[in-house]
Structure 1
Amino acid sequence: MVIPDYQRAYTWDVAKVQELLQDWEEYIASSPKQTYYMGSVLLFANTKDANFQIIDGQQRLTTLTLIYYQLFGSLLKGQNVQYNQSVSGFNIAKNLNFAKQSIARLEKLKDSEIFHKLEFTVIVSDNQDHAFAFFDSQNNRGVSLGVDDYLKAYHLRALPEKLQEQKAKSWEDITFKARKEDNHLLDLKHLFNEILFKVRQWKGQSHFPYPNKTEVLTEFQKNTYSTETKNAFRLFPNNNNMRYHQLEYTDNGVLLVSAEKPLAKKDYPFAIRQPIYKGQNFFDYTDKYHAIFRFLFNTKEQKSLEIENALHFYNALYTKDMSEYLRYYMQMCLVAYYDNFKEELFFKAIQYFDYYLGAIRLEKYYVRQEAIKNSLKNASNSLLDVICNAYLPNEVFSFINKAKATESIYVNNGFLNGKKEVKNKVIDRYIQRLCKLYHKDIDNRLIEVKSRKQWIA
């Protein structure tokens, strides 16, 4: 088995190895009879040199090799892999030293036969072009690959065995529907990467981490909590829950809140920024926000007139011609708002959000991720914080009304360049869509749009 030259160096640090050992220890304590899923490994079968090239999985396999060597003093047959990069040598030395210092922990894991319980999905390709293509997609698309699979496998281990199949099937049904409808926005990768992670992590006005795979898995794996009570989880006060302190389940995983009729998933008494518990609570939390997202953005879902008007507004303005960063920002705002206030003044809310976000579109020649982060940093308060913390919709509207920098862009022609022309055609097309939607004079749009705030009904 060899590592091809185009592979990156071995980069796992001591913190990552420590996290793996902790996860193993939790697994042994809670589910000792089940297998521990280590994810997928992709190999290229090089028949010319009679070896396998590691395309994906080098970090995990190297770490396991170091642990195995520390425990048994030798390598398994075929593990004589060579590392040609100095970074790899540095990290291997540090992690091997850490393994030596952790020998007592490793011996306990050895006694639990941890190596016999590890499970991989092994993919072997005999076509080098296909292997390269897969490697490129893994490294270029980053966060969009595998996040949902890792989360599912991690939290299934915290469930009783009889519930695992039920939750796994429900999870896969969501993925299948998104693919069947050819709408990646309805899959779980998009939900975690572009909505839940950002709403939960983009707080205050200083730190806005980008949702790469490591960050997302840390938030929804490492940062989740264990509970000592088998079938109950703590609830937290919020607009969706002013009555109950604990959520209970039957042995079959049925959610119990009261003797009243069962709650729809989108009405579960959770808050989007609340702490999450491992297992059942994580799956129900996911179900709620996927149900909300699907309700708001899937045209096939039956909706009230309030939501239908908002969806029509969104589809008219937030087309593919609009920056995807602004589209996702709007989605975050709407999911967070619905979570807090349900349908109350929802159509008015999307108009206010577009007035606020639209100013970013008008001001910037190109809208990048940093433009969204800067809009959160440079305002008197973060819009996401305001939405999540407000008690009344009018608190959100008042915050946007008072945004002088936003109003200035419209009133003072912040969308024009030095030649008094619209900065680019994308901006002009957005202004035209706005005027058409609000029945304003498109030919006179540069004057009309100055009074944009007054258009909100």
Structure 2
Amino acid sequence: MNNKNENSVVLADFFSTFQLKISDYQRPYIWTFTQFLKLYEDLINYQKNLENSTPLYYLGNIILVKNNTEGYDIIDGQQRITSLLILANLLQQKELLSCNNEFAINSTISKNNIKANAEYFRHYLKDKNVEKIQFEKINITYIIAENQDQAFKFYTTLNTSGKRLNGLDIVKPFHLQALAKEKQEEKARLFEKHQFSNNLLDKIIKLSLRIRYWTGLPFRDFPRNHENSWNEFLPQEFAYSEMLSKHDYKYATIVEDKDSTESSVPAYQVNQPLYKGENTIHYLVYWCEVWLIVENKLKSEIFDKMDKLEGIEFNREYYEMALLCYASKYGISAIEEDNFITIAKGLFKVCFYTRLTKPCSKISIKNSEEENQLLKRILYAFDKNEIIEYYNSFFNEATLNTAAETKTGRVQKFKDSFGFKEDHYEQTFFNQ
């Protein structure tokens, strides 16, 4: 990189040099008051120990890219920069604010979090000796990317903000920055609807990622050594550099008889190829919407009962994957059919069978899918009756015998919650 595109300056000079804006594809301002207050206290403690030889307070890297106006988008650093501007405003330090009086934030979530931190800080300052921040003692390194692609690469490799990037933080800007500028805010709001109001986007990405790993050719092991290690694999599936753009494909099934032709409604398939930009955004949002329908349909019969139990999280995740595969194969209309709850109970039997003997691990669930291939059976079935016949015949005598002998603990509570009957091998559960 050219030296003119990377420089180390004090904060006041940085603000006087650049007209700043938060890009629409950035994540919103999400710092909690704890993080916000820690920054303030760190700065004040630094100032109390100042000596002539003390180096400047280093705030880290700030990544910028030139936008279509006269300003610059902040690609990385917005949590820190926004927090400092809030502090400058509340402490009435106009020297910093006057440098950048048109600092632009469009996100409603950002605005609400800014208001919340400002209100908490006003309350914190009551009855305290207010100490100003010496902004001239704060040093940052700014990096100017030559284009959006380079900015994204810097963002994913050099992120130094107060909250570690997860897979979604990488996937979201990757696809939003691929859109035309006028579409970015609209699509960012689509993401935010399910990312922050109900945290559903994280769930759908994790479920669909695991489905894509387990139903591909060949079967791929899903990361399991750490709770969040799957985040590191997410960009390889949803945001890789060679991803093609422009297409927004959906898929439909055509069934032809000698006297008729039937076609399903085109829809996104859970294991379909994905393209950069609108296609992946629409795919993820579509599956969020589908999941809300599934969850609402099964809430009282199944999900409310699962919510009350412990030790079933891996079976539950497997079950949710099976439901998504079923919705992918037969469409939203199949969820509204009268027999959907019956089929959902049959899939429950296969996914939770292992829970009849002991708590399951990620490894045991993965081994179960490798052996039984439930997800592939659903996705590749020509007719629903193939799925029904499979779960009706699903049976393991040793498992049923062990379950019948267990009369206490979490296994018994699980059995009681879901109407277990050891002599009903076809309908093992839901015999209330």
Shorter-chain TM-score bucket reads 0.5 to 0.7
Deviation at 1:383, TM superposition (A): 0.5
Aligned to 2:178: 158
Aligned mate of 1:274, from 263, 272, 275: 272
Q: CA RMSD in A?
A: 4.2
Aligned to 2:361: 368
Aligned mate of 1:358, from 352, 357, 370: 352
Q: Is the 8 A contact 2:167 2:231 kept in 1?
A: yes
The one-letter code sitting in structure 1 at the alignment partner of 2:389 is: S
Distance in 1 between the 2:152 and 2:175 partners? Answer: 21
Correspondence 1:169 to 2:182: no
The one-letter code sitting in structure 1 at the alignment partner of 2:299 is: L
Report the TM-score, using the length of structure 2 for normalisation. Answer: 0.57
Correspondence 1:198 to 2:216: no
Q: Is the 8 A contact 2:315 2:365 kept in 1?
A: yes
Aligned to 1:319: 307
Aligned to 2:135: none
Where relative contact order (Cα < 8 A, 6+ residues apart) is larger, the structure is 2
The one-letter code sitting in structure 1 at the alignment partner of 2:208 is: L
Deviation digits for residues 136-159 of structure 1, max 9, x if unmatched?
xx5xxxxxx632222110001111
Per the alignment, do residues 339 and 50 of structure 1 end up closer, same or farther by CA in structure 2, a change over 3 Å counting? Answer: same
Deviation at 1:212, TM superposition (A): 1.4
Aligned mate of 1:222, from 240, 246, 258: 240
SS in 1 for 2:286: helix
Aligned to 1:429: 413
Report the TM-score, using the length of structure 1 for normalisation. Answer: 0.54
Correspondence 1:209 to 2:222: yes
Per the alignment, do residues 239 and 164 of structure 1 end up closer, same or farther by CA in structure 2, a change over 3 Å counting? Answer: farther
Per the alignment, do residues 51 and 269 of structure 1 end up closer, same or farther by CA in structure 2, a change over 3 Å counting? Answer: same
Number of residue-to-residue matches in the alignment = 295
Where do residues 139-150 of structure 1 align in structure 2 (5 Å cutoff)? Answer: 146-150=166-170
Deviation at 1:243, TM superposition (A): 5.8
Correspondence 1:453 to 2:421: no
Question: In percent, how many aligned pairs have the same letter?
Answer: 18
Deviation at 1:281, TM superposition (A): 0.8
Deviation digits for residues 320-356 of structure 1, max 9, x if unmatched?
4141111111111112112222224311211111211
Aligned to 1:93: none
Q: Larger Cα Rg: Structure 1 or Structure 2? A: 2
SS in 1 for 2:290: helix
Q: Is the 8 A contact 2:326 2:378 kept in 1?
A: yes
Q: Is the 8 A contact 2:316 2:351 kept in 1?
A: no
Distance in 2 between the 1:199 and 1:118 partners? Answer: 30
SS in 1 for 2:403: coil
SS in 1 for 2:424: helix
Distance in 2 between the 1:78 and 1:177 partners? Answer: 33
Distance in 1 between the 2:192 and 2:235 partners? Answer: 19
Unaligned 5+ residue runs, structure 1?
1-33, 58-76, 80-108, 125-133, 139-144, 179-183, 245-266, 300-306, 436-444
Deviation at 1:196, TM superposition (A): 0.8
Deviation at 1:111, TM superposition (A): 11
The one-letter code sitting in structure 2 at the alignment partner of 1:347 is: I
The one-letter code sitting in structure 2 at the alignment partner of 1:219 is: E
Per the alignment, do residues 294 and 234 of structure 1 end up closer, same or farther by CA in structure 2, a change over 3 Å counting? Answer: closer
Q: Is the 8 A contact 1:35 1:118 kept in 2?
A: no
Deviation at 1:238, TM superposition (A): 3.8
The one-letter code sitting in structure 1 at the alignment partner of 2:306 is: Y
